[in-house]
A and B are shown apart, each in its own frame.
Chain A
Amino acid sequence: MVVADKYEMVCGLEVHVELQTKTKIFCGCTTEFGGEQNTHVCPVCLGMPGTLPVLNREVVNYAIKAGLALNCEIAEFSKFDRKNYFYPDLTKNYQTSQFDLPICGKGGLEIEVDGEKKWIGITRAHMEEDAGKLVHSGETITTSNESSVDYNRAGVPLLEIVSEPDLRSISEVLAYLEQLVQILEYTEVSDCRLEQGSVRFDVNVSLRPIGATTLGTRTETKNLNSFSSVRRCMEYEVARQARVLNAGESVVQETRTWDEGKGITLTLRSKEEAHDYRYFPEPDLAPLVIDREWVEKIRKTLPELPSARRVRLQALGLSAYDASVITQGKAMANFFDEALSYYGDAKTLANWVMGEVTRLINTNQSSMDDSPISAKQLAELLDLIDKGTISGKIAKSVLEEMYSTGKEAKLIVKEKGLSQISDEGALQGIIDGVISANSQSVEDYRAGKDRAIGFLVGQIMKATKGQANPGLVNQLLKEKLS
């Protein structure tokens, strides 16, 4: 692509994350998603005359936790500010947010793209309240005859995480976002349900000639809510800016919006009509003083983060790829760790988790969270293989049975008589029968055709309905024929 030869992309991201508190940031209303329009509201989150905000301490706990997980400095002194602008989805026509003294300062996280590691800086993360939602009868607010407002979401706590403009490719952007979401999910700061809008992305992109050190003019595209939208939007925007620059024109600094249907970005507002937000300190809330004890108490609640887990899993003998697959989602990683406490062979366990268990979940369109097979049950199944009670092949069908019935492996093996035949005496007779019934194959083997033994083993397995111990069969057969 012409872009890659001529221009370097510079990107920074703003990510809005809904924090997983049960109640809103300044009142006691539920943060539950959905619900009939305007049922999760009270005079406070509706900004009715005379009402006052009271800060939900849980929001601060979550913000500190996220900040620690993202290696941010946690401010000792922080405050809320009002960001003033008019819009019908804002109940007070200002948003209570943080301006110059955010709760989380500089931090960052490490990403890996094509085997290369890179540190992406985080400038800040601050707390704020979400706005309501406009419901238009037509396409947009200006072309609708009628618009209504649902304030259920108004006052839901958000953390806005702002990155440095350190990202240089779409792959880096996606790696950063995946990492970020993973960390937020692991720390249980957010449920990270992208489809419910609990994580939203604003993408700042500019291009500059390769080798240039100054930044080009950027555009900001707001409110993307999936990784695929981010990718498509950036592909479009980078190509668009390259076309503008190639034509000898300049990129206009502006806020753009992504049209998912058409796959294009459109001007939302230009710099000239940019908002003057008239920030000033929120007089209704006292400044927030965060003593170090508070921070340390929260640090103790931090779980092992995905990056640390990957390192640990690799030390147990897993490949980098396996470790990254296992840690992709918190549910799988936790399932794996739990199973590991019952079953010591990490590599075998990883193969089963990434293979059979994942396959069953996928074909049943379920999720790891509500897998009917517990980690302990999987470990017991693997123990049965190791003890030679069942073969790996039988184990797969047992696992399916476990998935559909929820029964323990041992019980299924017993009920269905699936135990492996490892009794030499019992096998001798069957082997003798197969040898006498297949004299041609015996001759072929003796004449040096090694392949013939495979046929004989197959016949023995067939005769035992797959329950014969294949290793033992091989050994006994060879002894007989030699």
Chain B
Amino acid sequence: MGTEKSVSELHELLVHKDLSSTELTRAYIERIHSVDPELQAYLTVLEDQALTQAAEVDYKIAQGEVVGALEGIPMALKDNMCTEGIRTSCASKMLENFVPPYNATVTDRLRAAGTILLGKLNMDEFAMGSSTENSYFAKTRNPWDLECVPGGSSGGSAVAVAADEAAFTLGSDTGGSIRQPAAFCGVVGMKPTYGAVSRFGLVAFASSLDQIGPLTKTVRDNALVMNAIAGYDPLDSTSVPSEKSDYTKFLVNNIKGLKIGIPREYFGEGIDPDVASVIQAGIQTLIDLGAEVGECSLPHTEYAIPAYYLIATAEASSNLARYDGVRYGYRAEAADVLGMFKTTRAEGFGQEVKRRIMLGTYALSSGYYDAYYLKAQKVRTLIKQDFEKAFEKFDVLLSPTAPTSAFKFGEKSANPLAMYLSDITTVPINLAGIPAISIPAGFVKGLPIGMQLMGKAFDEGTLYRTAYTFEQNTNYHTLKPNLSGEVLARGSR
């Protein structure tokens, strides 16, 4: 009842008292009970707390008080965002029992906006991965095809929205971790400009690349969530001092004269031809709606993946050094301090995390620093300049969000390099720090395809306008995975 509706639709039902927040929250909890045993999007479900919060909102509505756009709306957070008194595990054995005594800024802001926290969502361990196969606890399944991965690392966040287990969710995006799972699951995922949303309380993977963003059913919902979470935070020195902006004012169904650039490097080798034709059709739709489309070039794209994996792993090796068993989290027994450090880290981290720590440690080590880390930083500057140049001519750039649709479990996990290449169209955006959104743009063999729109720094507005116009003139976002038969049966056994 209502779980399939968008945030803005639910808001209308709540204010008109056609539905109470308690009823809605109960409906989501029931939905989680019925589909999540199979999908495994959630790591923690907060039934009692959610119902208490919902009752508070219902009381407010009953008193005739005005409620905000997100008030009483049930949502969930990726499990790398700190929640006071609630386990925040990063899907790692290392933090299996970690309960932070503080909230992330986004947690605080969503609470202040009156949202209901349903629980914490599965992910690749420490946000490292593109399939959510690297979770210590469970593999999340793609609701469109249970044999396929949901994408990653915010796989749980994308699935929860696609399978109606939450009205919206937050994910984090270091190299595509919001956009790629959004594309694989057929939902809207925004990676905002670096610095637009506070990172305080987001367990760091790669500090200069990480950014929190919303995953939603519609573009309007996305803008509404951004309204709640974006803005300067004195606790995060990299957050940008700016006026609070209302992203919903960009939701106009009109892109006449909008200049869209198509970077030729994003349609090259490795892009599935079926995906390319879906995106081509999408481009045609935008042209029909009045956009001016032209080709452009981002010449340093081919260096983005190596540069990204050097910078991201270098920062990760440092960020993850604090997990040593001394202060919190998992601790192994050993004869001496050094042994305790080593065994804790050997047993507490999964394979992918260890692989990246080693890669990053190596990239930073003396003798290799100049050849790897420093060179990668120079490439990063060149990639940034590529974008700046392209945006002199175009308002928005467009590409497929991922080179393929959702792949099968195990298909790429045996070959890390192949897995890394699945980020090829998303990674450059993080290096440049600019915003990008993935929206549903069609299907290939029953699996959703995402279209990525990239914008100038702090120009989320133009992305919303473009995405909204596309959405209003297509129906891909209204299609739902069929979870009524087999999944429910399997889930309830």
A residues in contact (CB < 8 Å) with B: 43, 46-55, 82, 84, 86, 88, 91-94, 141-142, 147, 149, 276, 278-280, 283-286
Contact = CB atoms under 8 A, between A and B. Distances in A.
> Majority SS of interface residues in chain A?
loop
A139 to B, nearest CB: 14
A95 to B, nearest CB: 11
B361 A283 contact: no
Interface in B270-328: 314-315, 317-318, 321-322, 324, 326-328
Contacts of A51: 102, 200-201
A52 B199 contact: yes
> Majority SS of interface residues in chain B?
loop
A147 B95 CA distance: 23
B44 interface: no
A279 to B, nearest CB: 8
Contacts of B469: none
B148 interface: no
A49 B203 contact: yes
Contact of B315 (A86, A88, A92, A283): A283
Contacts of A283: 206-208, 238, 315
B231 interface: no
B366 interface: yes
B341 interface: yes
Contact of B327 (A46, A50, A82): A46
Chain B contact-residue range equals: 35 or more
Given A50-B82, A280-B314, A88 B373 contact: no
Given A50-B104, A50-B199, A285-B238, 18 more contacts: A48-B100, A48-B327, A49-B90, A49-B95, A49-B204, A50-B200, A52-B200, A52-B236, A52-B237, A54-B234, A84-B364, A86-B341, A93-B321, A141-B337, A142-B337, A276-B365, A280-B369, A284-B238
A43 B326 contact: no
A93 B322 contact: yes
Interface string B337-374: 10001000000000000000000010011100100010
5 contacts: A50-B202, A52-B237, A54-B235, A278-B369, A285-B238
B322 A54 contact: no
B101 interface: yes
A210 B321 CA distance: 47
A43 B314 CA distance: 24
A473 B102 CA distance: 83
B204 A50 contact: yes
Interface of B: 80-82, 88, 90, 95, 98, 100-102, 104, 199-204, 206-208, 234-238, 314-315, 317-318, 321-322, 324, 326-328, 336-337, 341, 361, 364-366, 369, 373
B268 to A, nearest CB: 30
B318 A54 contact: no
Contact of A286 (B90, B237, B365): B237
Given A86-B324, A94-B318, A49 B208 contact: no
Pairs A-B, 8 closest by C-beta atoms: A93-B321, A283-B208, A283-B207, A278-B364, A50-B201, A49-B203, A92-B322, A50-B203
A261 to B, nearest CB: 24
A55 B318 CA distance: 19
Given A49-B203, A94-B321, A280 B364 contact: yes
Nearest to A277: B366
Given A50-B82, A284-B207, A86 B365 contact: no
Contact of B237 (A94, A280, A284): A284
Nearest to A92: B322
Contact of A43 (B100, B207, B238): B100
Could you say which of A50, A93, A94, A280 has the most chain B C-beta atoms within 10 Å of its C-beta?
Answer: A50
A141 B235 CA distance: 35
A51 B337 CA distance: 25
Nearest to B200: A52
A416 B314 CA distance: 79
Contacts of B95: 49
A279 B370 CA distance: 12
A50 B317 CA distance: 15
Contacts of B102: 43, 48, 51
Contacts of B365: 276, 278
Could you say which of A49, A149, A278, A285 has the most chain B C-beta atoms within 10 Å of its C-beta?
Answer: A49
A278 B81 CA distance: 28
A212 B295 CA distance: 68
A106 to B, nearest CB: 25
Given A84-B321, A86-B341, A284-B238, A49 B327 contact: no
Nearest to B326: A88
Contacts of B373: 280
A280 B98 contact: no
A88 B341 CA distance: 9
Contact of B328 (A48, A84, A94): A48
Contacts of A52: 199-200, 235-238
A280 B318 contact: yes
Nearest to B364: A278
Nearest to A134: B337
A53 B208 contact: no
A471 B235 CA distance: 75
Contacts of A86: 321, 324, 341
A233 to B, nearest CB: 27
Contacts of A142: 336-337
A49 B364 contact: no
Nearest to A53: B237
A49 B237 contact: no
A289 to B, nearest CB: 13
A51 to B, nearest CB: 7
Contacts of B206: 283
A479 B301 CA distance: 111
A141 B200 CA distance: 34
Nearest to A151: B327
Given A84-B364, A86-B321, A94-B321, A49 B100 contact: yes
Nearest to B126: A49
A284 B361 CA distance: 18
Contacts of A49: 82, 88, 90, 95, 98, 100, 203-204, 322
A454 B483 CA distance: 121
Contacts of B203: 49-50
Contacts of A54: 234-237
A93 B102 CA distance: 21
Nearest to B234: A54
A84 B235 contact: no
A284 B326 CA distance: 23
Contacts of A82: 318
Contacts of A278: 317-318, 361, 364-366, 369
Contacts of B314: 280
Contacts of A47: 322, 327
Contacts of B201: 50-51
Given A52-B199, A278-B361, A283-B315, A43 B322 contact: no
A166 B467 CA distance: 66
B194 to A, nearest CB: 10
Given A52-B235, A280-B318, A283-B208, A147 B337 contact: yes
A88 B337 contact: yes
Contacts of B336: 142
A92 B81 CA distance: 18
A51 B341 CA distance: 22
A50 B126 CA distance: 11
A51 B207 CA distance: 11
Nearest to A285: B237
Contacts of A147: 337
A50 B127 CA distance: 13
A355 to B, nearest CB: 54
Contacts of A88: 324, 326, 337
Contacts of B88: 49-50
A273 to B, nearest CB: 12
Contacts of B322: 47, 49, 91-93
Nearest to B360: A278
